[in-house]
Each structure stands twice: as C-alpha cells, then as structure tokens.
Structure 1
C-alpha cells in the first residue's frame, strides 16, 4: 500500500497513545495515523509522511532531498510479518464463519506466535528511533538489513569511530537477562544467557553469526562488535550488564555512550556505511 494511503498526518480528534514510545497524545495534537494497525505515532517517532491537506489545514510539505544511502526502517520486516499473519488469521476465520467471523475476532486475541512479531517489531522501532536521534556524520545507522540467501535480518548496524556495532534488539518486558556459568575446574566452562527462567543462549549464537558476516564485509582493521540490547527488561539498579563470548548484553542507555565515543575510524564511517548498505540491503 502506498505510504500516502497507509499513513496520514492529522490532528487527533481524541486523545491517544503513541504506539512506539507510549507517549500520551492529547486531542488536537498532530500525529501520524496508521490505517493498517489503527494506531497513532507521535511526530518524534515518525519519519516524514505526506500531510493530509484536509486534516492539517496546510499545503503539501516541501520535497526533501533523498539520502543516497537507504538506511532502512527499524522493525519494518517484523511489522510486515505481524500484519501478514494477522490478516491471514482474519481471512481464515471470516471464511470459516461468514456470519460470526467479526464477533469471533473481536472476542479473541491473536496467538502468541503472531503477537511475538509485534512485540519484536516494537522493540526494534523504539530502539531505532533513539539511535536515529544520535546519528551524526560520524555515527551512521542502518536498520533492518536483509542477510542475503536467508530469511534472517540484522536489526541495527551502527557505524562509528570505534567500529561497527551489530545490534540485536530484544523486548522481554519485566524479565532480567543474567549470565549463568557452569563448569570451569573439572569440566569445560560453559556460559549460558538466561532471560527470566529460560535459557536463551541461542540469541548469542545468532549475534555471533551476524558479526562474522559483517566482519567479512568491512576492512580487516575495523572492529566489529556484537550487542544484545534488551528493551524494557528488569535490569538491576547497579550493575547488570555483562559480556558473554564477546557479545555485550546490556540495555539502551548503557549502549548509547559506546556509540558516541571518539575513535580512530571516524574518517572511514561514510565509506563503511555505504559499503554495508550495499552488501546488506534493506529488508
């Protein structure tokens, strides 16, 4: 669906809440309405979209010069997958129950296998919004990059003076990531990532694969660092962040200072950004 049909910038008739950052939006506030999800986004969390002339009471915005590099949209592929699964479920229920389909949909929730995509997309969107706010000439972002030959993607890539950060965003609301170490003296040392009560070491494995892929694209002397960034998790007041098998496990505010630090590779940021964007297209 074209963007001008899928989204509309308008003044809200009623109060609402931003889908991305949960900010309260008062009635008459300008925001972006998403027709596909029937939700709104505040302007801070929204890329420029065409203005609805009738709603905003103004002419169309001036054309913007396009960025030569497609930086991508955070969470876009996960959001599309959620909407695809939701639409497929709705079509199936309405076909099976022509008269009661609408009522069944209104009284039932999507299965967890579907809502998980929305949860993941929201985590990527929220982190991506803040990362874009940090972007400068020497800190450039890429979002939702497709890994060629697979259905997988890389959530975020930050190209900085200290190296390239491969950032995997995870949204486990209220759950605490911890490092569990087993063995070490008489047995081989094994590190496990536990989130809440579940072993999620596979998340570390996934980041390490992404790091190796990115490392094969950039120059040999440029560090490539893996990050698992947990959004809205239950982090302790003191400490909490840790590193396992070379992957940093932390929360957004702990990540931002690392990305904005000065380093020896500032002169290569623009070239690396373009090279990665070409090798890993937008998903």
Structure 2
C-alpha cells in the first residue's frame, strides 16, 4: 500500500470534530441556545490572544448541570465569561439592577444562571492548587444594543466584546507557571459538555 493510501484510511490521521447543540430550550430566554454567541466569541478570543490566554469552552462542574461557556485563565485570575447575543435589541438592567430587561421584557433566569455558574466555579478554584486566585465573572454581549454607561446586572459586569478583550489583557499577579497550573487543574476537573 502506498504511503498516500495509508494516510487516507488511517482514522487517527485527521480527527473530525462535530458540534452538536443539545438540550431543551428555556421558554423564558429569548434566545435559548447561545452556541452561536459562544462560538463567535471563542473565535474572536483565540484570534486575539492565541496561546497568551488559556481557555476552556463548554465545561461543567461534575454532578451539576449548567454549561460554563467560556473560562479564561490569565495573569489576573480565572474569568467566567457568559456570552450573549440579542441582535438589534436594547439591553438594560431593571431599576434595582437585579435582572436584565431586553426590549422592555424582564429576564430573571439569565442573572440567576450566571450567579449559579460563578459560585460553582469559585468553589472549584478554591479547592484547587491556587485557592486564592481571583475569579471574575462577566457577561459578554456579542450582539445587542448596550447603554453607553457601565452596566451591571446582579453584581456581574456587562461588557461588549471590546470590553472583554480589554479585561483579559489586564496585567495581574499570576506568573506563567501559575496560569498553566490553574488551567491544567480546571481542565482535569471540569467535564466537557
């Protein structure tokens, strides 16, 4: 058999990845499957940072439900990024800042879900090799009309893609070895969804 034919039949020579969206849609969420927002943000982040920032995509804490869409490990600590996309819709916070108001409709589950994810990730980091590492959570709106002033919902910052890039570029106390240690620990313990 020629070398060319061996490669063409070797199943390990070129892995094929298939993205499968799953789960039942949540009726309270105007855009229940945020796979497109996560995929778009992932491409932007990887293009912007390459291997200078270490990422985990679509992970969950074992024994819990809920997707942690984007986790970034940088010199400032661990960042949980909740991508959202509401093209052409006005994104605001309720008067008390506890929930999103998207085109005039309140969406309480978005903020509740982000809080659950943040608490789960914080607990995972605290039992890891660097328990004092900072865990920062924010929303990243890939599409949607954000107000000009800073926005926070349920204590979580709401950023544009540009704001997210700026946040991840910030310098912090962790060195390269500590970043790799944190990333390796989380990649072992967080299950792919």
TM-score category (smaller protein): 0.7 to 0.9
Give secondary structure in 1 for the equivalent of 2:121: helix
Q: Which has the higher strand share?
A: 2
TM-score normalised according to structure 1 size: 0.54
Q: Which has the higher contact order (CA 8 A, sep 6+)?
A: 2
What TM-score comes out, normalization by structure 2 length? 0.77
The 1-side partners of 2:26 and 2:131 are apart by: 42
Q: Residue 214 of structure 1 corresponds to which residue in structure 2? A: 121
Larger Rg over CA atoms: 1
- Corresponding residue for residue 160 of structure 1: 74
Deviation, 1:112, is 10
Distance 1:242 1:145, change over 3 A: same
Structure 1, unaligned runs of 5 or more: 1-52, 54-58, 67-72, 86-110, 183-189
Shift of 1:151: 3.6
Deviation at 1:138, TM superposition (A): 4.0
Once the two structures are superposed, what CA deviation does each residue of 1:209-246 show, in whole Å capped at 9, x if it has no partner? 1111111222332111111112210134xx24412343
1:266 aligns with 2:180: no
Confirm or deny: 8 A CA contact 2:94 2:101 kept in the other structure: yes
Deviations 1:117-145 (A, max 9, x none): 5x521111101111112334441111011
Q: Does 1:243 find its partner at 2:184?
A: no
RMSD: 3.1
User: Runs of 5+ in structure 2 lacking a partner?
Assistant: none
Offset of residue 269 of structure 1: 0.8
Distance 1:176 1:266, change over 3 A: farther
Counterpart CA distance in 1 for 2:54 and 2:80 is: 12
Q: How many positions carry a matched residue from both structures?
A: 176
Q: Equivalent residue for 1:32?
A: none
